[in-house]
Amino acid sequence: MYNDNLLLTPLPHNATYGYWVSPAAEFAGKTERLEVSGRVAADFVSYYGGQESRFTNIFLPLTLRYKTETDLLGFTGGFTRDNTLMSELLTTGVVLRFTQRNQWNANPTWTRSITEKLSVQSNFQLNDTTYENGLPLGLVDYQLYGGSGGL
């Protein structure tokens, strides 16, 4: 439990108190060809006093790697549900108000060995982000796509 100035205002304001409860579990497994690892984590957040708010943050990252004689397939991605106190303050340095952000990430990769010293690589990136009631706060939903390849 702690006392906080949630909106980082220099103006007079009532003290806001809060607590976070953050359970988490990690998992991993590995065979000769396949590696899997991930995490399941949540934050149960409550603020009361000057500004009352409750949030549930969820973090579900996942990493996969699969190897064959000539190919390496990979995936990094997952789902994040957090509040804008965490995400927007870290990204922009500004906190306008609180709302929840939902973000899906998928980053598949593929590497093909042509010879012992030559390989072809490709990757793709997808990011799909939505905000609950974000438009009145100036937060718009967006999607990012990207890709690259090389020798």
In a domain, 5, yes or no: no
CB atoms near residue 78 (< 10 Å): 19
Instruction: Report yes or no: 80 and 63 within 8 Å, Cβ to Cβ.
Output: no
On average, the pLDDT of the chain sits at 88
Query: Residue 7 falls within a domain, yes or no?
Result: no
47 has pLDDT over 70: yes
Res 49 pLDDT > 80 = no
Mind listing the pLDDT tens digit for each residue in 60-71? 999 999 999 999
Residue 50 lies in a domain: yes
| Distance set, CA 27 to CA 13, 82, 108 (Å) | 43, 21, 20
Question: Tens of pLDDT along 65-114?
Answer: 999 999 999 999 999 999 877 666 677 766 666 788 999 999 999 999 99
Does residue 19 lie in a domain region? no
Report how far residue 73's alpha carbon sits from residue 56's, in angstroms, rounded to the nearest whole number: 33
Residue 146 or 51, more confident: 146
Answer whether residue 65 is part of any domain.
yes
- The per-residue pLDDT for range 112-146, each reduced to its tens digit, is 999 989 999 999 999 999 999 888 878 889 999 99
Per the structure, the count of domains in the chain is 1
Domain that holds residue 57: 24-150
User: Residue 63 domain-assigned?
Assistant: yes
In contact, 50 and 16? CB cutoff 8 Å? yes
Phi, psi of 99 (to 5 degrees): -155, 165
Q: Is residue 2 part of a domain?
A: no
